[in-house]
A and B are shown apart, each in its own frame.
Chain A
Amino acid sequence: MWQVVGQDRVVSLLQRSLETGSLAHAYLLVGSPHVGKMTLALNMAQALNCLAYERPCGECASCQKIVSVGHSDVQVIGRLTLGEDLSEDKLISTEQIKEIQHSASLPPFEGRYKVFIVEGAELLSTEAANRMLKTLEEPISTVVFILLAVNDRLMPATVVSRCQRLELTPMPVAEVESTLSSRWGIESSRARLLARFSHGCLGWALEAVSDDGLLTRRAEKMDRLLKVVNADYEERFTYASQLASRFTQNRGTVQEILDLWLDWWRDLLLVWIGCRDFITNIDRLATLDGMIGGYSLTQIKAYIDNLRAAGEQLRQNANPRLVLEVLMLDMPGKEEHRQVKPAAQLPV
């Protein structure tokens, strides 16, 4: 049984090549985070080494071992985690590739194939990527490489061209919703919400199902952001400096917040235009409706541009605090509202 959902095209391709024995020696799986790249890669490893007739069975000893990362012929290589603070190494080093190369020159130990899964292949250092080239082009017949990448444009073209490139596209939101409710038995309203939040990446939704904290944290962040919209500049700046200090520790979380924010403003834009079908935050439709009154389309659009620019600047190592503060300044606030409100309250 293939565990991957919503990637029928890719799965049937692999299934066919398994049946006809025309499997390639190197695959590159490209797709957004949480779309199911790793699941598919592990499935392929299982299928290659499965002992049952209908591969991958998921039940035989070999399949079980692979799932629990205990199979000696299936190796997963990714960025190394350093120390206790969970900060990650920025790139995949040559040392790791050296190990693969050595290991790839040996025949499999217990299974039929040696499978190397390289997670985050765009993070291969230039040297590491070049080092892989020859091995990747013509490995011995019992070796299969599976490279996983979010954005293959960051990888050297020489590496990409040696692999069969398979793209995993996000599932349609409606399909995520139906899968969640039919296969995991999640009630429909919750499934609908999770599907929207996941942007078609089932992995995210499933993570949210198993970890309630994920959704609560998301809601908390959202509340905070919404509070900032109506807050005065002092509070906005406090928030910016908070974010900035968090950025120095972990870049990911700030990008996440920016993405969340981007989603929100996109929703505003869509509601403004009148396309309510495609918005993400369906649980806050009332807030959205309440908010659009304060903005013109130009304002919303300009702010989305600013948000995108800010994300780009952060990626390019701009001063995070400055970027975030400018972002807070640019936010089309409700100046008129704020000035009007006290006046309106006075007569009451």
Chain B
Amino acid sequence: MSSQVFYRRWRPQTLADIIGQAQVTQTLLNALRSGHISHAYLFCGPWGTGKTSAGRILAKAVNCLNNGQGEPCNACALCQAITEGTALDVIEVDAASNRGIDEIRNLREKVNYASNQARYKVYIIDEVHMLTKEASNALLKTLEEPPPHIIFILATTEAHKVLPTILSRCQRFDFRRISQADVVTKLTSICQAEGIKIEPESLRLIARATIGSLRDAENLLEQLTTYYSAKIEIQQVQSVLGITDDWRARELVSNIINNDVSAGVATINNVNRDGLDLRQFNRELVEYLRVLLLLKTDSADTVDLSVEEIKELKDLATKATLPQILKAVKLFGQLKLGLDNYSTLPLELALVDCTLPSAEEKPIVKVEPEIAPPMKKASPPTSPPPIEKTITEPEVTNEPAASLLMTQEAPAAKRKPVSTSKPPVAEPTPASAPAAGSEIKHLQQNWRQIIKEAPPGISRTPAAALLRSAEPSAIEENTVILSFKYPLHKENMEKPDNQQIAEQIISRFLERSCRVRCIYKPEDNHLVEEALKIGAQKIIEAEEK
């Protein structure tokens, strides 16, 4: 290879060169100056933060022929040999490839020999987390008390995998993720040395994309320079990083607000077609929706946008409803685009979800036509379901038992037959109905408590036990309806003795005399429901008659 990649060419050669790790470099420098060099170091931290580099610099610093008490000179024969990797006394061990006990035994044997030219023999054991347990243990004694001319430097990205006994024998240095500003400084100096013209803003973009790993940032910069040679525009950086100009995200947001699904799908597919990164696009979209949310809630002080943009956003914000924006933020924010990278499906689904009216927000009948217009063909299938429902419900109410089943499922459905006299269904039903409704709720919530607090003579009767397995499902004037999951329980409860006690308990709670009626309601088992849908017949009903 005629030239090395940036991260090798620009590997720091002095402690001062290592950026963003002041806590490490300063400590090491002080140790070197005072001559208090430990015999074992452990460098740990995320990838691309300078662990291996620090190890090599330390090896040079302790052995440097010119200085030896501080920064390495990088000029003497020994420093240069170490930089080139030809020094006999600095041994770099790849612990991931030499992870067995035999390799460590071998190493231990050689540790005892004196160093060749240098003052110290330095072992740099990289990827030390991959050592097997036995190998680590074999190293323990040597690591604790090596011969005086030996220094161990262990480096790893995963300190939690290293044995605690190893950890406690080393001076541990934690390398941090490098801050954006530091990465930019380093990249700027590389650019100057390489003669690359690039705006600071672009460097900031690179730094942000590589989350604190200098090696990643250098790789990206190199990729940019090979592609665009020595002059790099910010648009080029954006295109390499897959950042869209934010008008596309804005377009999709307005599509969402306008409930225009087909235009939204077109936007998403165009983004994909142009080879933009969908994950990045989604990130921008969420960010944009967030700003919209802030504007909508009048907390836009923190928004960092130009006046025109804010004005445009405000127009959108006035058009949108808060639940709509919230829903969109949630749906797109939760999206996982990790596994199927290039499929637009997750985004499309979220979009459809956003525009699909949820039952709580608006009545189904009212909104369905809003979606339907774009395509005339498909509109017929949408309207039937609500109509069907309204037809079936009155039919069902003819059968008393079935109507009781309905009451639990949907309070609205229960009220309908009651309030038929009043035309507007949405208006509050007569005063008695809500009272009954709240009473039943009250009863349901305190059910266990009621049975528990029954008078001592009653609480231990079979009736109380039966009541525990029942559930109050409705109150009709003075009759409380109990539903049972098993027919046997229901039959037992219907015995006069039991019924009397049950009535006593309930009347005591409701503070008025009540009667009890029992019904049998099989459990809401989705398998049973599914079976019923397929066409299975209920056998129990036949028995009841």
- Whether B266 lies near A293 (C-beta < 8 A) is no
Q: Which residues of A contact B47 (CB under 8 A)?
A: 157-158, 161
- Whether A101 lies near B97 (C-beta < 8 A) is yes
Q: Any chain B CB within 8 A of the CB of A216?
A: no
Q: Which residues of A contact B338 (CB under 8 A)?
A: 151, 153
- Whether A23 lies near B1 (C-beta < 8 A) is yes
Q: Which of B2, B229, B534 contacts A21 (CB 8 A)?
A: B2
Q: Any chain B CB within 8 A of the CB of A5?
A: no
Knowing A199-B342, A296-B381, A304-B349 are in contact, say whether A273-B375 is a contact too (CB < 8 A).
yes
- Whether B385 lies near A275 (C-beta < 8 A) is no
Residue of A nearest to B380 (CB): A293
- Whether A292 lies near B215 (C-beta < 8 A) is no
Q: Encode contact with A along B311-344: 1 for CB under 8 Å, 0 otherwise.
A: 0000000000000000000000000001101100
Q: Any chain A CB within 8 A of the CB of B378?
A: yes
Knowing A21-B3, A274-B375, A297-B352 are in contact, say whether A329-B530 is a contact too (CB < 8 A).
yes
A292 to B338, CA, bound (A): 30
- Whether B381 lies near A295 (C-beta < 8 A) is yes
- Whether B345 lies near A134 (C-beta < 8 A) is no
Q: Which of A134, A158, A164, A335 contacts B222 (CB 8 A)?
A: A164
- Whether A172 lies near B97 (C-beta < 8 A) is no
Q: Which of A24, A134, A274, A296 contacts B97 (CB 8 A)?
A: A134
Q: Any chain A CB within 8 A of the CB of B13?
A: no
A296 to B378, CA, bound (A): 9
Residue of B nearest to A278 (CB): B269
- Whether A292 lies near B378 (C-beta < 8 A) is yes
- Whether A13 lies near B223 (C-beta < 8 A) is yes
Q: Any chain A CB within 8 A of the CB of B227?
A: yes
Q: Which residues of A contact B129 (CB under 8 A)?
A: 130
Q: Any chain A CB within 8 A of the CB of B371?
A: yes
Comparing A62-70, A74-82, A262-270, the segment that makes contact with chain B is A262-270
Q: Which residues of A contact B378 (CB under 8 A)?
A: 271-272, 274, 292-293
Q: Which of B213, B380, B534 contacts A233 (CB 8 A)?
A: B534
Knowing A20-B226, A164-B5, A296-B381 are in contact, say whether A270-B265 is a contact too (CB < 8 A).
yes
- Whether A24 lies near B266 (C-beta < 8 A) is no
Knowing A133-B127, A151-B339, A297-B352 are in contact, say whether A172-B273 is a contact too (CB < 8 A).
yes
- Whether A200 lies near B223 (C-beta < 8 A) is no
Q: Any chain B CB within 8 A of the CB of A165?
A: yes
Residue of A nearest to B5 (CB): A24
A151 to B265, CA, bound (A): 25
Q: How far is the CB of A29 from chain B (nearest CB, A)?
A: 13
Q: Any chain A CB within 8 A of the CB of B153?
A: no
Q: Which residues of B contact A297 (CB under 8 A)?
A: 352, 356, 371, 382
Interface residue ranges of A128-174 to B (CB < 8 Å): 130-135, 137-138, 141-142, 144, 151, 153, 157-158, 161-166, 169-170, 172-174
- Whether A134 lies near B342 (C-beta < 8 A) is no
Q: Which residues of B contact A166 (CB under 8 A)?
A: 223
Q: Encode contact with B along A1-38: 1 for CB under 8 Å, 0 otherwise.
A: 00000000100110011001111110000001000000
Q: Which of A9, A134, A289, A301 contacts B352 (CB 8 A)?
A: A301
A153 to B225, CA, bound (A): 25
Q: Any chain B CB within 8 A of the CB of A277?
A: yes
- Whether A335 lies near B1 (C-beta < 8 A) is no
Q: Which residues of B contact A25 (CB under 8 A)?
A: 1, 4-5
Q: Any chain A CB within 8 A of the CB of B63?
A: no
Q: Encode contact with A along B60-103: 1 for CB under 8 Å, 0 otherwise.
A: 00000000000000000000000001000000101011000000
Q: Which residues of B contact A305 (CB under 8 A)?
A: 349
Most buried by B among A133, A172, A269, A295: A133
Chain B interface residue number, banded: 35 or more
Q: What number of A residues sit within 8 Å (CB to CB) of B?
A: 69
- Whether A269 lies near B5 (C-beta < 8 A) is no
Q: Any chain B CB within 8 A of the CB of A110?
A: no
Q: Any chain B CB within 8 A of the CB of A127?
A: yes
Q: Which residues of B contact A132 (CB under 8 A)?
A: 96
Q: Which residues of B contact A134 (CB under 8 A)?
A: 92, 94, 96-97, 126-127
Q: Any chain B CB within 8 A of the CB of A294?
A: yes
Most buried by A among B97, B266, B381: B97
- Whether B227 lies near A130 (C-beta < 8 A) is no
Q: Encode contact with B along A284-314: 1 for CB under 8 Å, 0 otherwise.
A: 0000010011111110010011001000000
A22 to B219, CA, bound (A): 12
- Whether B273 lies near A275 (C-beta < 8 A) is no
Q: How far is the CB of B340 from chain A (nearest CB, A)?
A: 9
Residue of B nearest to A16 (CB): B226
Interface residue ranges of B506-537 to A (CB < 8 Å): 530, 533-534
Q: How far is the CB of A324 from chain B (nearest CB, A)?
A: 15
Q: Encode contact with A along B265-278: 1 for CB under 8 Å, 0 otherwise.
A: 11001000111000
Q: Any chain A CB within 8 A of the CB of B216?
A: yes
Interface residue ranges of A188-241 to B (CB < 8 Å): 199-200, 233
A1 to B154, CA, bound (A): 47
Q: How far is the CB of B385 from chain A (nearest CB, A)?
A: 6
Q: Which residues of A contact B349 (CB under 8 A)?
A: 301, 304-305
Knowing A158-B47, A161-B219, A273-B352 are in contact, say whether A130-B130 is a contact too (CB < 8 A).
yes
Q: Any chain A CB within 8 A of the CB of B495?
A: no
Q: Which residues of A contact B380 (CB under 8 A)?
A: 293
Q: Which of B1, B5, B225, B266 contacts A275 (CB 8 A)?
A: B266
Q: Any chain A CB within 8 A of the CB of B374?
A: yes
Q: Which residues of B contact A169 (CB under 8 A)?
A: 275, 342
Q: Which residues of A contact B375 (CB under 8 A)?
A: 272-274
Q: Which residues of A contact B165 (CB under 8 A)?
A: none
Q: Which residues of B contact A127 (CB under 8 A)?
A: 96, 130
- Whether B342 lies near A273 (C-beta < 8 A) is no
Q: Which residues of A contact B382 (CB under 8 A)?
A: 296-297
Interface residue ranges of B335-380 to A (CB < 8 Å): 338-339, 341-342, 345, 348-349, 352-353, 356, 371, 374-375, 377-378, 380
A170 to B273, CA, bound (A): 8
Residue of B nearest to A232 (CB): B534
Q: Which residues of A contact B229 (CB under 8 A)?
A: 16
Q: Which residues of B contact A262 (CB under 8 A)?
A: 345
- Whether B356 lies near A298 (C-beta < 8 A) is yes
Q: Any chain A CB within 8 A of the CB of B20?
A: no
A186 to B188, CA, bound (A): 51
- Whether A12 lies near B227 (C-beta < 8 A) is yes
Q: Any chain A CB within 8 A of the CB of B33?
A: no
- Whether A274 lies near B374 (C-beta < 8 A) is yes
Most buried by A among B127, B222, B273: B273
Q: How far is the CB of B325 from chain A (nearest CB, A)?
A: 20
Q: How far is the CB of A172 from chain B (nearest CB, A)?
A: 4
Knowing A133-B94, A151-B341, A170-B342 are in contact, say whether A161-B262 is a contact too (CB < 8 A).
no
- Whether A142 lies near B1 (C-beta < 8 A) is yes
Q: Which of A144, A158, A266, A292 contacts B345 (CB 8 A)?
A: A266
Q: Which residues of A contact B448 (CB under 8 A)?
A: none
Q: Any chain A CB within 8 A of the CB of B452?
A: no
- Whether A161 lies near B48 (C-beta < 8 A) is yes
Q: Encode contact with A along B1-26: 1 for CB under 8 Å, 0 otherwise.
A: 11111001000000000000000000
12 interchain pairs, CB-CB under 8 A: A20-B226, A22-B3, A133-B96, A134-B127, A137-B52, A151-B339, A151-B341, A161-B47, A165-B219, A172-B274, A301-B349, A304-B345
Instruction: Report, nearest first, the 5 A-B pairs whose CB atoms are least far apart.
Output: A130-B96, A134-B94, A274-B375, A21-B2, A141-B1
Additional 5 contacts, C-beta under 8 A, given A157-B46, A164-B219: A141-B1, A153-B339, A173-B273, A294-B381, A335-B533
Q: Residues of B with Cβ closer than 8 Å to A?
A: 1-5, 8, 46-48, 52, 85, 92, 94, 96-97, 126-127, 129-130, 157, 213, 215-216, 219, 222-223, 225-227, 229, 261-262, 265-266, 269, 273-275, 338-339, 341-342, 345, 348-349, 352-353, 356, 371, 374-375, 377-378, 380-382, 385, 530, 533-534
